[in-house]
Amino acid sequence: MGKVLLLSKTDVESVLNMRETIAAMETAFQEFSGGSAILPQRILIPTEAGISLYMPAFLPQSGSLAVKIVTVFEHNPVKYDLPTILGKVLLQDPKTGDVISIMDGSYLTAMRTGAVSGCAIKYLAKKDVQSVGLFGTGVQGSTQLWAACVARPRVQLCKVYDVRKDVAEDFILKMSKKLQIPDIKVVKSPEEAVKGSDIVLTATTSPTPVFRGEWLEPGTHISAIGSYTPETREIDTKTVRKAKVVCDEMNACLEEAGDLIIPIKEGDITKKHIHAELGEIVSGKKPGRETESEITLFKSVGLAIQDAATSKLVYDKAREMKKGIEVEI
Ligand SMILES: NC(=O)c1ccc[n+]([C@@H]2O[C@H](COP(=O)([O-])OP(=O)(O)OC[C@H]3O[C@@H](n4cnc5c(N)ncnc54)[C@H](O)[C@@H]3O)[C@@H](O)[C@H]2O)c1
């Protein structure tokens, strides 16, 4: 039997950078759009203690075959001093099928979720982006902002809004060191975060819209990654109606993204209002941004192809940089 490379969160952090992760997302979505990727529906097992999700995918061209196991066990913090959400990725060798690596999935998830927004920004945001408004300063908020600054490196101003001001202030301290944005600050209202922003990022746990569509300026791009159930949404109907809408994957979004499902159910838009999947834009089958003034919206619920592609990138780089521990199983 082959050896398995074990990679901790620190190992994953030490090998991944945003530029390469965005490139990996671009390739993965291109492959997905070309029809060769295999992306079964995620499997969900409810247990007494929580929910266990299994997200498998295969990208033959890039040789990424993997499954991510994510669990949401609410009593973990109090009972076991563990986070509510845990995740690990098992990467396989597509030639033998054997599992060749087990790696931490939490940082990997934040990176691939940021990177898919970075990829969307590359195709959908204006070329000259000066300002970003960010909603939600948790784990995903960090990588959303990082990816936006990599995809559009001339960002001068970032306005950050979180319902928890203390969390937002800690975020500013951390991110101002990391990203060197000339002006990064907490704002007092959602309206301030949106008005005048070239890009608006939403990465919250809010079940209801975090801003109003009427505040958007022409030409704004929005990346919405937070909500993932049919009943919850971060984006209001007015925004969806005003925008050219691109989703990560049509069926997944029509099953999970309240941001789109609610306006469809209420008769404000039809499915046809969704312009494209990201892969169609990346592979040139459909146009991305066409005018300076159009409003674009990217909705992501998260796909296993992102995990498979990122775990392969982590593995290849970890081998090169001699990270992790190898064990015989
Ligand atoms: N699309 C994907 O692939 C993907 C991947 C991972 C996580 N997610 C989702 O992204 C969301 C954020 O995840 P996280 O790990 O960063 O969570 P987190 O708990 O670390 O951060 C969420 C932040 O949102 C803030 N918030 C809540 N309501 C708000 C509002 N109305 N306005 C502004 N801020 C508000 C909270 O105070 C918190 O700081 C979750 O819903 C998660 O399920 C999506």
Q: Are residues 153 and 276 in the same domain?
A: yes
**Same domain for 270 and 136:** yes
- Index of the ligand 1 atom closest to the CA of residue 204: 24
Is residue 68 domain-resident? yes
Residue 117 resides in a domain: no
Q: Report yes or no: 29 and 119 within 8 Å, Cβ to Cβ.
A: yes
CATH number of residue 192's parent domain = 3.40.50.720
Instruction: Find out whether the beta carbon of 208 lies less than 6 Å from any atom of ligand 1.
Output: no
Q: How would residue 2 be classed by pLDDT, with cut points 50, 70 and 90?
A: confident
Mean pLDDT of 175-180: 92
115 assigned to some structural domain: no
Could you tell me if 171 and 245 lie in one domain? Answer: yes
Do the domain assignments include residue 118?
A: no
Does residue 1 carry a pLDDT above 80?
Answer: no
Q: Is residue 269 part of a domain?
A: yes
Question: Do 16 and 71 belong together in one domain?
Answer: yes
- Number of domains forming the structure of the chain: 2
Residue 94 lies in a domain: yes
Q: Check whether residue 150 and residue 260 sit in a common domain.
A: yes
113-169 pLDDT, tens digit each: 999 999 999 999 999 999 999 999 999 999 999 999 999 999 999 999 999 999 999
Q: What CATH number is associated with residue 40?
A: 3.30.1780.10
Query: Does residue 257 belong to any structural domain of this protein?
Result: yes
pLDDT per residue over 225-267, tens digit each?
A: 999 999 999 999 999 999 999 999 999 999 999 999 999 999 9
Tell me, in angstroms, the distance from the centre of ligand 1 to residue 133's CA: 15
pLDDT digits (tens, 9 = 90+) for 52-99: 999 999 999 999 999 999 999 999 999 999 988 899 999 999 999 999
Task: Quote the mean pLDDT of the chain.
Answer: 97
- Do 156 and 258 belong together in one domain? yes
pLDDT higher than threshold 80 for residue 12? yes
Give me the percent of the chain exceeding a pLDDT of 70: 100
- Counting from 1 in the atom list of ligand 1, the atom nearest the Cα of 306 is 3
Res. 183 pLDDT band, cuts 50 70 90: very high
Residue 116 placed within a domain? no
Q: Tell which one of 51, 170, 204, 236 to mutate to probe ligand 1, the residue whose CB is within 8 A of the most ligand atoms.
A: 204
Task: Output the residue whose Cα is nearest ligand 1's atom 19.
Answer: 138
Do 292 and 320 have their domain in common?
A: no
Same domain, 77 and 58: yes
Domain span at residue 324 reads 3-109+305-328
Q: Are 265 and 311 contained in the same domain?
A: no
Instruction: Tell me, yes or no, whether 315 and 217 share the same domain.
Output: no
For residue 170, what are the contacts with CB-CB under 8 A and spacing of at least 6? Answer: 137
Question: Does one domain contain both 174 and 322?
Answer: no
Q: Is the CB of 324 under 6 A from ligand 1?
A: no
Whether 112 and 103 have beta carbons less than 8 Å apart is answered as no
pLDDT at position 290 over 80: yes
Tokens of 238: 């007015």
Residues 274 and 128 reside in one and the same domain: yes
